[in-house]
Amino acid sequence: MPTRTGTTPRRPLHALLVALFGALLPLLAALLVAAPAASARTETADVVPTATLTEVTDFGANPSALRMYVYVPDSVTAHPAVLVAVHWCTGSGPDMYNGTEYDTLADQYGFIVLYPSVTRSSKCFDVASPQALKRDGGSDPVGIRSMVDWATRTYDADTGRVFATGISSGAMMTNVLLGDYPDVFAAGAAFSGVPFGCFATTDGSEWNSACAQGTVTRTAQEWGDIARAAYPGYTGPRPRMQLWHGTQDDVLRYPNFGEMIKQWTNVQGVGQTPAATDTPQSGWTRTRYGGTGDRAPVEAISLQGVGHNLYSSGMAARVLTFFGLDSDGPAPQPQPGACKVTATTNAWNTGLTASVTITNTSTTAINGWRLGFTLPAGQTITNGWGAMYTPASGTVTATDAGYNAALAPGASVSIGYQANHTGNSAAPGAFTLGTTACTLG
């Protein structure tokens, strides 16, 4: 089969995003452009060819018979990040590959891209059934989780850097994946979607007209509870979310944008008042919640006068910035020669908050850091700020949040987290910044 090169022409994406359901068929007739066949190898072996779209079979549990396509760049890094790119209704994994830039960005930054592909007749992902809206309940999310497991197993990928993004039906699935598997995905980016659980049905239907029309409204707490109910008892960190929506969306209407903001700010435990608002491009309004930098807990981009088919070239790069993937290699460099950490806790019955201050006491400036520490037995992080924390218990790595990545000689940065405890509410007793052991202040 022919391999894909950087000179292969791309076709426009804009006409392939509208959902295929009942009343929308006339709209599709006007907008839908047939997708050209994508070249893809088929592999059953563990390691696939590089720099070409490849179908992988027998990748694990797959109750809804999804097909799996993968792109591994020639420049794949050690312990690479994994990005799941989810297509729209009537689309396919190869369509998503052809219509977005994630493969060429993978060539630049060394991560792996997975392209799930629906085989049911609608070519829409299941975001409505009770099985899909429950962790390991069945249907599409289980198959996608198996694809991620295959990638992490095969390439020793970084389990702390697994991400999801999708368009339309794929955006809805992005919401579902982050709700079902908050311990698997570090962040998501949803283009023209709806909140987790908004499309829920019990009659076997794939389509929920009330949700699509934007008439399903709930409080932030109610939306957050719906997402948390997918994985009862989970108390670890929750994925960050980036949301994109056009004000003139006539398929999944614009009120869904506000409902998603409610849901994911509540899930993240941050307020609904933006910490920052700006206009990164004419007609765009970007709000950030719980932080002001590129890796805020929730980032929302509203596109004035834009319809459902909002995805365009250049947006994928902004997704990578939010994910923290737009840098070469997974390890921040350089590391300081010396550091100091001050850590205090404020505890109550079964919970605590911890305040941590990191000081670069060396003469070497750094831009990008990872702070390692071990939580006392019985402690589990439930929320954090100023950094991304993985995993939630045991030996933890706190990675800079982008906006606070730079530490000049003598400079300090303050971060913190909230945790549950079973009696020991002490702060960690030792810290490392990269490979450097820090003194306690």
Q: Report the catalytic residues.
A: 168
Dist. CA 270–CA 265, nearest whole Å = 5
For 38, the token pair is 């994508």
The helix (run of H) or strand (run of E) holding residue 223 is helix 220-228
Cβ atoms 390, 237 nearer than 8 A:
yes
Compute CA distances 75 → 26, 156, 298, whole Å: 44, 15, 30
Dist. CA 95–CA 102, nearest whole Å = 12
Dist. CA 179–CA 213, nearest whole Å = 22
Query: In the block, which residue shows the tokens 């992490």?
Result: 152
Dist. CA 60–CA 154, nearest whole Å = 12
Dist. CA 326–CA 68, nearest whole Å = 25
Dist. CA 202–CA 222, nearest whole Å = 19
Looking at residue 390, its amino acid is T
Find the distance separating the first CA and the last CA of the chain, reported in whole Å. Answer: 61
Dist. CA 135–CA 154, nearest whole Å = 23
The full DSSP string for 50-91 is SSS-EEE---S--TT--EEEEE--TTPPSS--EEEEE--TT-
Q: What angle do CA 241, 242, 248 make, to 5 degrees?
A: 130
Dist. CA 171–CA 182, nearest whole Å = 16
Backbone angles phi, psi at 308, to 5 degrees: -65, -35
Backbone angles phi, psi at 247, to 5 degrees: -65, -20
Looking at residue 224, its amino acid is G
